[in-house]
């Protein structure tokens, strides 16, 4: 992966748009046209645009996923053309979830693009590592799981992409933070489940708890973009949000409506939060002892085999 362009100094502020989409199931071209219209509305106000998991196809596709899956190169080209048609040569970074066809192997992926003067560079593609196949979910029947968690450099600092259930396993954002992530970007498609209190689904409350605790523990910003609408009788819970490095909710969207959520992030808050609550530094100091514990069920390296 080539080094990012124009990163001699990291930006101190980030103007982000979280685009909560309600895609037409399986109708990629129409959904792309709708997102192009959204781009035209936000072009002058943002540095980074984040769209949900499966934002241009819908999530519950089962075997039809093979019909809408695209190569990362093709998907990047489509997003870039949509941005250029709506916004000309204005610079932007884009994140969007999609079903990826990598020469016949299919993934639930998210892409990070830098678009400048009408040309795009693919900074990173993350392939979802945890594919739920329980309850209403059936991902692992149709998709392969990703096997690497990587961080990557941007003009706003080091980031990581995690997709939906990836975040529910606490070790995953922890590893991202240890690897240097200062911002976690989380495209998601989360169906609603459980009633905890009047007007609030239990799954929404659980998501909010996970995201706020993760942000505060590791001193990082979290940008969560959720799919909304109904697919096959299953309601997606939207609730896109931005959370600061102290675990405070900056902005949030409703569960049921497509919308554009704008947030201005002061990236200097990351260092201040980590200095006031140095949990990440403590973890880095103790991590080697934790990983060397011989009771952990870790696979042996080949050169350690008897």
pLDDT score of 163 more than 60: yes
> What are the tens digits of pLDDT across the range 205-249?
899 999 999 999 999 999 999 999 888 778 888 999 999 999 999
How would residue 301 be classed by pLDDT, with cut points 50, 70 and 90?
low
> What are the tens digits of pLDDT across the range 57-71?
999 998 899 999 999
Structure-block tokens of residue 62? 């089962």
pLDDT score of 1 more than 70: no
pLDDT at 2: 43
Instruction: Tell me the domain boundaries of the chain.
Output: 13-294
Q: Which CATH superfamily is domain 13-294 in?
A: Carbon-nitrogen hydrolase (3.60.110.10)
40 vs 195 pLDDT, higher one: 40
Mean pLDDT score, 154-163: 98
Cα 301 to the center of its chain, rounded Å: 31
Average pLDDT score over the chain: 91
> What are the tens digits of pLDDT across the range 20-46?
999 999 999 999 999 999 999 998 889
Q: Confirm if 74 and 120 have CB atoms less than 8 A apart.
A: no
Q: Confirm if 227 and 207 have CB atoms less than 8 A apart.
A: no
Whole-model pTM over 0.85: yes
């Amino acid at each position: 992966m080539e080094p990012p362009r124009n990163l001699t100094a990291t930006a101190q502020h980030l103007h982000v748009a979280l685009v909560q989409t309600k895609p037409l199931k399986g109708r990629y071209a129409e959904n792309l046209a709708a997102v192009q219209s959204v781009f035209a509305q936000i072009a002058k106000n943002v540095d980074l645009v984040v769209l949900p998991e499966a934002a241009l196809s819908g999530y519950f596709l089962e075997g039809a996923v093979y019909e809408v899956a695209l190569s990362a190169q093709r998907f990047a080209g489509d997003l870039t053309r949509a941005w250029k048609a709506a916004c000309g040569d204005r610079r932007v970074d884009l994140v969007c979830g999609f079903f990826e066809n990598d020469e016949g192997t299919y993934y639930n992926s998210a892409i990070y693009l830098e678009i400048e003067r009408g040309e795009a560079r693919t900074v990173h593609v993350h392939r979802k590592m945890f594919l739920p196949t329980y309850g209403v979910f059936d991902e692992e029947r149709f998709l392969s799981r990703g096997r690497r968690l990587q961080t990557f450099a941007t003009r706003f600092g080091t980031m990581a992409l995690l997709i939906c259930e990836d975040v529910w396993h606490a070790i995953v954002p922890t590893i991202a933070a240890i690897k240097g992530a200062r911002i976690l970007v989380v495209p998601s498609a989360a169906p609603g489940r459980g009633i905890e209190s009047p007007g609030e689904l239990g799954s929404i409350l659980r998501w909010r708890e996970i995201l706020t605790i993760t942000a505060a523990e590791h001193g990082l910003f979290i940008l969560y973009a959720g799919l909304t609408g109904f697919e096959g009788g299953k309601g997606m819970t939207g609730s896109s949000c931005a959370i600061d490095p102290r675990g405070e909710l900056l902005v949030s969207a409703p569960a049921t409506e497509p919308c554009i959520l704008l947030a201005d992030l002061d990236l200097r808050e990351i260092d201040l939060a980590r200095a006031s609550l140095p949990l990440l530094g403590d973890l880095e100091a103790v991590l080697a002892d934790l990983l060397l514990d011989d009771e952990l069920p870790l696979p042996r390296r080949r050169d350690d085999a008897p």
